[in-house]
Amino acid sequence: MQYISTRGGMQPLPYCETLLEGLAPDGGLAVPETMPTVDGETLERWRALTYPQLATEVLGLFATDIPRADLARMTAAAYETFPEAVVPLRAIDDDLTLVGLSEGPTLAFKDMAMQFLGQVVEYALERKGSVLNILGATSGDTGSAAEHALRGKDRISVFMLSPKGRMSAFQRAQMFSLDDENIHNIVVDGVFDDCQNLVKKLAGDLDFKRAQNLGAVNSINLARITAQVVYYFWAWLRATDIGGWTEVSFTVPSGNFGNILSGFFAKQMGLPIRRLVLAANENNVLDEFFRTGVYRPRSAAQTLATSSPSMDISKASNLERFIFELVGRDASRVVSAWKDLDDKGHFDFTADLSRFIEEFGIVSGTSTHADRLATIEAVYDASGDIIDPHTADGVKVAREYVEPGVPMLVLETAKPQKFAETIREAIGVELEYPSELRAMLDAPQRTAEMADDEHELRAFIEANALR
């Protein structure tokens, strides 16, 4: 299995080299040269597997340059701290079932991919005899998941940008309380899209990237997308009967389009997915795109601070991988679209989207703060479950697309403890924290603050990068 760029300017590379690269040299994103496929017989054979075993099988289709024994060791290590089920499913009513993705060390779905990423990046670096300086941006959960997966690793340093004042107190504490020498938290005076733009500027400077050994852990990293594919297969296997070929639908709270893109990959691989339902918050650029075919990102000033902060994103990096498939893998049209985005502030794929919407099966909807509060309250009253505000966005939009006879699975994104203020506002409940979480919230925090300034960031990395 080899990987190419969405913009056509990268020679095919194997999995391990691709995940160390981050952005492709031409500024595009890595995608499989040919998508692997899975048939019904294989799916049935996978039903009896544990989560790490299933991860080995699915990831083995993508990471063909890693010996199977090494891959099995890494998946076992990645999920050893999770509960036995790793990803439990639980019904909240007759229509909706939650896919529990927040059982990992930072209580968010990002752990599902990051724990594997930490294993496979270290493996690739040891094999190559090199080091990597990870440069990333977070709107909330990516940063803590990455840092907890990579802390203390000898060959890796992490430079994580986050927007000032745009994360919950819990999210800040999870990141900023870490005192490992290889973790650098950089608070940028801006919004998430400003942080992401800084990452892309530095990653796009090939001389700087090579000199500083820069890599990525944002969802532009291929390992994260492929690791997330696994739980779509896992959830389908647990939501369907043995020997059945039942279609299911998934609803995915979406910000940077990485989580739902993994579901799109699973569907392309042959998993019987009826619909992928994209749930947006008030920053609903992606909802607008899937309803109209016009993609029009908003400026930093227009990007709202909401009570589902991990989705406060107006420029979704992973949409490029979807556009590549939408235009029949024509890299020249991807390049043209991004030129339109730079020149006009938008691009238009109305004709393409209307032609392929049934094939791709992606639909969308928007949820607001009032919707989140009402949904959290309704779920709590009906089932006793307390869901976080991002999952509430998913539940609200999922109800708009429930179909008779088609199971609707909603991807849970985080534990409610990460968003205690919104939970208190919705249902008046004060969430309890175990002693280790309380100690984390009370611990000193260590950050570097800077302006939205490319040159200042370059200097900081040059002074602190591993060599």
**How far is Cα 323 from Cα 175, in angstroms, rounded to an integer?**
33
Q: Which tens digits make up the pLDDT trace of 383-410? A: 999 999 999 999 999 999 999 999 999 9
How many CB atoms neighbour CB 154 within 10 A?
11
Q: Which structural domain, as residue segments, surrounds residue 418? A: 89-104+223-427
How many domains does the structure of the chain reveal? 1
**How far is Cα 201 from Cα 452, in angstroms, rounded to an integer?**
12
Which residue carries 């109209």 as its tokens? 292
Q: Which tens digits make up the pLDDT trace of 12-36? A: 999 999 988 778 989 999 999 999 9
- Reported in sequence order, the residue ranges of 231-346 that DSSP labels E, i.e. its strands, are 248-253, 273-280, 294-295
**How far is Cα 364 from Cα 448, in angstroms, rounded to an integer?**
38
Q: Which two tokens stand for residue 93?
A: 């009513």
- Any idea what the CATH number is for the domain that residue 411 is in? 3.40.50.1100
Q: Which tens digits make up the pLDDT trace of 292-327? A: 999 999 988 899 999 999 899 988 989 999 999 999
Q: Is position 14 within any domain?
A: no
Contact present, 248 and 177 (Cβ < 8 Å): no
- The active-site residue out of 110, 200, 209, 315 is 110
**How far is Cα 87 from Cα 359, in angstroms, rounded to an integer?**
28
Q: Is position 385 within any domain?
A: yes
Four-CA torsion 122, 125, 126, 130, nearest 10 degrees: -140
Q: Is position 235 within any domain?
A: yes
- In this predicted structure, which of 44-53, 196-205, 419-428 has the lowest mean pLDDT? 196-205
> In the predicted model, is pLDDT for residue 289 greater than 80?
yes
Q: Which helix (H) or strand (E) holds 112?
A: helix 110-128
Q: Which tens digits make up the pLDDT trace of 192-239? A: 889 989 998 998 898 999 999 998 877 788 999 999 999 999 999 999
Which residue carries 């609803």 as its tokens? 251
Chain-wide mean pLDDT for the chain? 94
Q: Is position 23 within any domain?
A: no
Q: Partners of 163 in the beta sheet?
A: 188
CA count, 13 A, side-chain hemisphere, 150: 35
Q: Is position 296 within any domain?
A: yes
Q: What is the pLDDT of residue 78?
A: 97
> In the predicted model, is pLDDT for residue 243 greater than 70?
no
Closest among 188, 186, 189, 197 to 158, alpha carbons compared: 186
Q: Which tens digits make up the pLDDT trace of 121-164? A: 999 999 999 999 999 998 777 889 899 999 999 999 999 999 99
Q: What is the pTM of this model?
A: 0.92
**How far is Cα 98 from Cα 235, in angstroms, rounded to an integer?**
10
351 CB-near residues (< 8 Å, 6+ apart): 293
**How far is Cα 394 from Cα 372, in angstroms, rounded to an integer?**
9
Q: Is position 417 within any domain?
A: yes
DSSP state of 416: G
If you write DSSP's letter for every residue of 261-303 in order, what string do you get?
A: HHHHHHHHTT--EEEEEEEE-S--HHHHHHHHSEE-PPPTTTS
Q: What is the pLDDT of residue 63?
A: 98
Does residue 201 have an active-site annotation? no
Alpha helices in 412-453 (DSSP H): 420-427, 435-442
